[in-house]
Amino acid sequence: MVVDDSVHSRLTDLTNGVCVMELREEEYPQVENHLKLAMLRAYAVTGVVTSAAKAAGIHPGTHYGWCKRDAKYKEAAGGAYQQAMDRFEDEATRRALDGVEEVVLYKGEPVMVDGKVLKRVRHSDALLQFMLKAGRPDKYAERKQVEQNTTVKGRLTVEEMTDEQLAARVKHLMDNVKRVSEG
């Protein structure tokens, strides 16, 4: 599929140099329109409709319109989104486990050691925790246990309660909410 140079340039710029213009019909065989293909490829890289639409040279509303009117395009867009999420997950895993190299600064200037810029690798413990909580919530999700002892002395509906009974019930419930939120 041949796409004009202006679309190629926008896609390369908006996807941090990742070439998304290697458009091959076999990637999305159900989509024949070159603008739709450009949108899908950009969406598979960015995961963001507005950025992908800008890269493809269309209005974001055009994408949503295609999704409403073209079931094959909608299916392909879902696949493109999943590709982007897989890519993001891979990058998050890399940053959490392998870390990101960064320049060591002192007073805003790079630190030099033996004529070389000093660098360190920074890992993201918070990102790793987030991934574990999402991936294995049964093991890593935060849990709060709430115990409530309630004695039912007959069945009164709200309509049957006196103002004093209703006020006491509301106070009791608010005290429980406060106790739970304070941990």
Each residue's pLDDT tens digit in the chain (183 positions)?
Answer: 444 455 555 555 555 555 444 444 456 667 778 899 899 999 999 999 999 999 999 999 999 999 999 999 999 999 999 999 999 989 888 888 899 999 999 999 999 999 999 999 998 888 888 888 888 888 888 877 777 776 666 677 778 888 888 888 889 888 888 888 776
Whole-angstrom distance, CA of residue 167 vs CA of residue 161 = 9
Q: How far is CA 77 from CA 52, 62, 86, 105, in A?
A: 11, 13, 14, 43
Domain ranges of the chain: 5-95, 99-140, 144-183
CA 59 to chain centre: 22
Give Cα separations from 119 to 17, 116, 124, 126, 152 (angstroms): 24, 9, 16, 21, 66
β partners of residue 122? 100
∠ CA 99-104-109, rounded to 5°? 145
Q: What is the pLDDT, as a whole number, of residue 23?
A: 43
The pLDDT, as a whole number, for residue 151 is 66
| Model confidence, pTM | 0.58
Q: What does the pLDDT read at residue 111? A: 93
